[in-house]
Amino acid sequence: MSAPSRNQKLLAWVDEVAQMTRPDRIEWCNGSPDELDRMFDLMVDEGLATMLNPSKRPGCYLFRSDPSDVARVENRTYIACRNREDAGPSNNWADPAELKATMRELYDGCMVGRTMYVIPFTMGPLGSDISRIGVELTDSPYVVANMHIMTRVGNGVIKLLDDQADFIPCLHSVGKPLAAGASDEGTWPCAPLEDKFISHFPEERLIWSYGSGYGGNALLGKKCLALRIASVAARDEGWLAEHMLILKITCPEGKHRYVAAAFPSACGKTNLAMLIPTLPGWTVETIGDDIAWMRFDEEGYLHAINPETGFFGVAPGTSQESNPNAMTSIQRNTIFTNVALTEDQDIWWEGIGYDPPGELIDWQGRVWHDGSREPAAHPNARFTAPATQCPALAPEWRDPRGVRISAILFGGRRPSTVPLVHEAFDWNHGVFMGSSVGSEVTAAALDLQAGTVRRDPMAMLPFCGYHMGDYFRHWIETGARQDPAKLPKIFYVNWFRKDASGRWLWPGYGENSRVLAWIFRRCEGKAAARETAIGYMPDAAGIEAPAGVSDADLQELLTVDKAGWLREVASIREHYATFGERLPAELQQQLDALEQRLLQL
């Protein structure tokens, strides 16, 4: 097919990559439904995909990955900038020229026997000032199909590129060339772990990924472009690229507000983004579940867009009870990866809310019976579903101007110490809260002492494309340029409190609407709060307790545990030490001031 673009930079780059990788053919993607069907047909024919039961899950397909290719590979993820210090202590640094030389050897002939797809896409609505154009070159039809769902692919982008708009080049290969006439024959193509590279060249705004087909490593618009590269662009251009969901909340009187929220992985971000309130009269609608790009408008208000068009969610644990809107979203036109297959060609996973309906085929293609020791679905099994299938999607989710953010929430899994909700005194105090976010780990989960907090500042540790100390400075400076009265309020929430016997103190899920309601009223200036050592907090009367939460429970959820917080201060001090001299003095001052306030209690 002849190239449908007149953009010289794009044509030259496609040519250069084709010469290096030597695909059998090149195909330009137009984003059409026919193209998507063709990708699925191709993969079904090659034994890589199973079409699910069309009367139960129309338009849905199941994929099983190689057991070595089931998640993001942080130890194979690189930030290649000129100075090692600029990558900071939380990233793997590589010298750009050396990394390119290593990867060029791997890319040499890596697409032999395959088609190279050219995927023009935008993150964010076509033509919005905040949006970015990317072009992904890949030899994976699985990536093409997922990009169709997760981004805006197609001719509209080609047209913009014809007008010489710039784009972010994203190169991807599964790293498995095929001998003449061979096919994958049902085996998920990827390279061994030591050959996988997920590389970012932030100074050039360039992404090179090799050897993995897994979403976070291969759908380059998502974590690579919309977070790691965009975070650097945002720093340079004065905006924020964040690992945040965006939701809309409407109160019984009909007024609405928008909230952005950052939580480390496995804290129920998708569930919160699609929450169904138990509090009568309130509604929550979804704008996005993973990434927010935010900018201050001319009037000084923060606006956010969701740059994606789909949900790439964790399947296990998703059920009618935990997230009915997600269950409806995945009813049709969804890609399932590494879930279990039922006898009637439907999907099943641990925590789906009902027993396995008979014998299953597990995520590795083996027969599985109830009671087997290994899980039937991989714990990181995923669904890729179009956002438009979410019944709670707010109509303005695609507004190119974005939505005005009234509140920013930070949170993590903290069984002790951190109360249900507290509000920052001001922007810098809120940045301090975000910088100290983390989740407690169990000894079984990681080789760490139980009770240790694994810090994941603003849930960006794996996704910030530069030094985290500079990232905190960027947040502080961004706030300092604005009228404080117009800045969003910042809150720290914790749905995961337990009492001394290990009993959950708070039921979570839809009941979290009770906390959102307090936050909403705070933004309106209508809810009372008391000033404490750690921030503003509601009295027990400020939160309507759900069934099963006693007055004593609520009291415990809303007290400041002085001893626990002094331990927290010491732990944050250790965390801060890892950022060295680039930690902004403002954050050190926030920590010292918190300690002083606690000591006075």
Active-site annotation holds for 267: yes
Q: In angstroms, give the least distance from the CB of 161 to ligand OXD.
A: 28
Task: List CB contacts of 385: < 8 A, sequence separation 6 or more.
Answer: 149, 310, 311, 313, 326, 329, 330, 333, 334, 335
Given ligand OXD, Mn ion, none, residue 345, with its beta carbon under 5 to 8 Å by kind, binds none
- Looking up tokens 């600029």 gives 86
For residues 419 and 205, what is the distance between their CA atoms, to the nearest angstrom?
A: 40
DSSP codes joined into one string, 284-323? EEEEESS-EEEEE-TTS-EEEE---SEEEEE-TT--TTT-
Given ligand OXD, Mn ion, none, residue 216, with its beta carbon under 5 to 8 Å by kind, binds ligand OXD
- Looking up tokens 């867009």 gives 305
3-state secondary structure of 68: coil
Question: Of 266 and 533, which has the nearer Cβ to ligand OXD?
Answer: 266
CB 386 within 8 A of CB 145: no
Distances from the Cα of 391 to the Cα of 5, 150, 325, 398, 472, angstroms: 37, 17, 6, 15, 36
Q: In angstroms, give the least distance from the CB of 441 to ligand OXD.
A: 16
Q: In angstroms, give the least distance from the CB of 74 to ligand OXD.
A: 10
Question: Of 136 and 290, which has the nearer Cβ to Mn ion?
Answer: 290
* Binding flag, residue 290, Mn ion (CB under 5 A): yes
* Binding flag, residue 307, ligand OXD (CB under 6 A): no
Structure-block tokens of residue 349? 């996973």
Q: Count of alpha carbons within 13 Å of 447, Cβ hemisphere only?
A: 0
Closest CA relative to residue 26, chosen from 149, 114, 130, 145 = 114
The footprint of ligand OXD on residues 522-541 (CB under 6 A) is none
Where do the DSSP E strands lie in 31-90?
Answer: 49-51, 61-63, 77-79
- The interface mask with ligand OXD, positions 344-383, x = CB under 6 A, is ----------------------------------------
Q: Which of 86, 136, 290, 456 binds ligand OXD (CB under 6 A)?
A: 290
Question: Of 290 and 308, which has the nearer Cβ to Mn ion?
Answer: 290
* Binding flag, residue 416, ligand OXD (CB under 6 A): no
Question: Of 7 and 380, which has the nearer Cβ to ligand OXD?
Answer: 380
Applying CB under 6 A, the site for ligand OXD has a residue count of 3
Question: Of 118 and 460, which has the nearer Cβ to ligand OXD?
Answer: 460
What single-letter amino acid sits at 551?
D
Given ligand OXD, Mn ion, none, residue 155, with its beta carbon under 5 to 8 Å by kind, binds none
CB 75 within 8 A of CB 92: yes
**Closest residue to bound ligand OXD by CB:** 265
Between CA 563 and CA 572, with CA 569 as vertex, the angle to 5 degrees is 140
For residues 491 and 471, what is the distance between their CA atoms, to the nearest angstrom?
A: 19
Q: In angstroms, give the least distance from the CB of 351 to ligand OXD.
A: 17
Q: In angstroms, give the least distance from the CB of 463 to ligand OXD.
A: 8
Closest CA relative to residue 582, chosen from 60, 222, 87 = 87
Q: In angstroms, give the least distance from the CB of 28 to ligand OXD.
A: 28
**Closest residue to bound Mn ion by CB:** 290
Pick the piece of the chain touching Mn ion (CB under 5 A) from 20-28, 205-213, 284-292, 535-543.
Answer: 284-292
Q: Which of 265, 278, 331, 482 binds ligand OXD (CB under 6 A)?
A: 265
Q: Which of 31, 120, 213, 216 binds ligand OXD (CB under 6 A)?
A: 216
Catalytic residue among 29, 267, 464, 523: 267
Question: Of 36 and 262, which has the nearer Cβ to ligand OXD?
Answer: 262
Pick the piece of the chain touching Mn ion (CB under 5 A) from 71-79, 277-285, 290-298, 548-556.
Answer: 290-298
- The interface mask with ligand OXD, positions 44-63, x = CB under 6 A, is --------------------
3-state secondary structure of 330: coil
Question: Of 31 and 438, which has the nearer Cβ to Mn ion?
Answer: 438
- The interface mask with ligand OXD, positions 455-474, x = CB under 6 A, is --------------------
Given ligand OXD, Mn ion, none, residue 92, with its beta carbon under 5 to 8 Å by kind, binds none
Q: In angstroms, give the least distance from the CB of 97 to Mn ion.
A: 31
DSSP codes joined into one string, 578-595? TTGGGS-HHHHHHHHHHH
Question: Of 265 and 328, which has the nearer Cβ to ligand OXD?
Answer: 265
Q: In angstroms, give the least distance from the CB of 410 to Mn ion.
A: 14
Closest CA relative to residue 140, chosen from 87, 65, 73 = 65
- Looking up tokens 């016997």 gives 501
3-state secondary structure of 260: strand
- Looking up tokens 């906390």 gives 515
CB 463 within 8 A of CB 243: yes
Q: Return the H-helix or E-strand segment holding 168.
A: strand 168-173
What single-letter amino acid sits at 12?
A
3-state secondary structure of 367: strand
Residues lying near ligand OXD in the complex (CB under 6 A): 216, 265, 290
Catalytic residues: 267
Please report, as ranges, the residues that interact with Mn ion according to CB under 5 A: 290
